[in-house]
Amino acid sequence: MFARRCSVSRSLALLSALLISSTAFSAEWYAVSSDNFTLYSDGPEDQTKGLVQKFEIFRDTALALLGLPDTPEKQPLLIVVYNNPRDFSRISPKNSAGFYYDSIFGPRMLMRGIGLDIADQGTLFHEYVHYLLNQRSQFNYPRWYDEGLATVLMTTEITDTVFVGNPPVYAAMSIKYGSLPTVHNIITGGVDNRQGFYQAAWLLSHYVSLGNKTRREQTTDYLRRYDAGEEPVAEFEASYGMTTRQMDAELAAYAAGKTFAALKAPTKPYSGRLWTRALGRAEALLLLADIAVENDEYKAAHYYFDQASDIGADSPFRARLIARRSIAYIHDLKVGKGDELMGPLLAEGSEDPQVIGDIAHYACDKFVEIRLGEWNGDEKAELERAIEYGVRAVEADPGNLEAHYYLGLCYEAAGQLQNATDALLRGYELSPSPRLNLELARVLIKGGQHELASYLLSRMVSASHDEDWRSSVREIVTDLEDGNLSKEYALLTPPWVALPGDE
């Protein structure tokens, strides 16, 4: 009887192992890198290479049309293309084909499916135009121009020729025959209808950038005036030499024409570097878990971490997976679980720069939780650990944007403002992003460097599609210029300080 039980137990264990292995992660992922992009995908290798080259061609086209410098990227845009729709749905907004975001680790673009149709591809082109404008231009742009120009470029067709200028398929009839918002309402932010705003922004941007040479020249003057903060209607009418009503009439005539203006040129194939490498199972799981953590999708993150639980100690990715899972736990306010993983990891004494940087990140987050009263512990010890490991991380890898960011925050919390400024400036040089830039501006203000803080903030007005956010940034800049620093600004609040209503 006893022997029979053992046999049954072994059979059940074997069945369990078979069931686990049948659902285990087995996708084959590749990394394809070019001069300006790194693309990860579990799709066919040849299609992945083709998509990277297409992005390089689009980048050349967009830079030329936008009049922006073609200099090497300091922090190459990382693109992740999920050929498995289930993996993409775990981390994406509902009904999304793709989305872009700036993380503290660098810029990211996530896409559903290697064989995107032209509409889905256009969504990613649209977001990439915003990225180029925010990263490379010295201008702040009015929202209608920022969104309109991105919408103009999103329909770019790349075959043996590059064609720019088609209206979005979903909006072509409305633009031509519909009743669109007035120019006055577009440029003053008086349009509540989102669809109407984008259609009108497309038409106006198309006309002043592609449709009329004189208008193109006037647009340069208009953007200069807008960037200087002049009154919206006055700056528009002064630059274009007409009232907004007169521009309404010109746009109506332009929309009623037989065709819209367009740019067409032979495609210049990408001739830069292109190399591919296969990701092992552990690295692929780390990538997918990383992306889930960055997007606060902790259920998805732990799904991938669970899949990686059998990764052996001989794998260079084992410690990275543990470190990143610890961060997922503390971000999800499960500090006890994070400590259960972080304690043994600290004892191992890893020399991996990424692991060291994650330890600094974790210690900084734990310091914040203790300071806010969300966890009991020694906040001084955690802050000192965050600084110690942050210094080690940036010494081992000067390109570790995450480590520069958290080191800057922790120096600030310790009252070391010059060190905080230096750390955040090094991060800014690697990849300026709204989140890092705001932290840097706050430190500069604390250190009395108001002019530099004002300049930095003034360059960020276009970094969001949200008008309230833009208005808040403008208010801070105005107060800095006027010497009025008595207010508390939500945008410039350190993470370890709770504002009323946060609890």
pLDDT reading at 3 higher than 60: no
The third-level CATH classification (topology) of the domain covering 25-139 is Glutaredoxin (3.40.30)
Bigger pLDDT: 15 vs 174: 174
- CA neighbor of 463 nearest in space, from 149, 200, 211, 135: 135
- Asked if residue 386 lies in contact with residue 364, where contact means CB atoms within 8 angstroms, the answer is yes
pLDDT reading at 124 higher than 90: no
- In whole angstroms, what is the distance from residue 387 CA to residue 326 CA? 18
Q: What is the pTM of this model?
A: 0.85
When the pLDDT of each residue in the chain is averaged and rounded to a whole number, the result is 88
Bigger pLDDT: 16 vs 102: 102
Q: pLDDT (tens digit, 9 = 90+) per residue, 316-345?
A: 999 999 999 999 999 999 999 999 999 999
Quickly state the pLDDT bin for 20 (edges 50, 70, 90): very low
Cα separations (Å) of 246 from 7, 184, 237? 88, 11, 10
Percent pLDDT > 90 in the chain is 59
Domain ranges (residues) in the chain: 25-139, 141-267
Let me know how long the chain is: 503
Residue 170 confidence (pLDDT): 78
Average pLDDT on 473-495 reads 87
Q: pLDDT (tens digit, 9 = 90+) per residue, 165-200?
A: 998 887 888 888 888 999 999 998 888 888 899 999
Residue 134 confidence (pLDDT): 81
Lowest-confidence pick of 40-44, 137-141, 279-283, 446-450? 137-141
- In whole angstroms, what is the distance from residue 144 CA to residue 150 CA? 10
- Asked if residue 76 lies in contact with residue 400, where contact means CB atoms within 8 angstroms, the answer is no
Lowest-confidence pick of 44-48, 136-140, 311-315? 136-140
Residue 267 confidence (pLDDT): 94
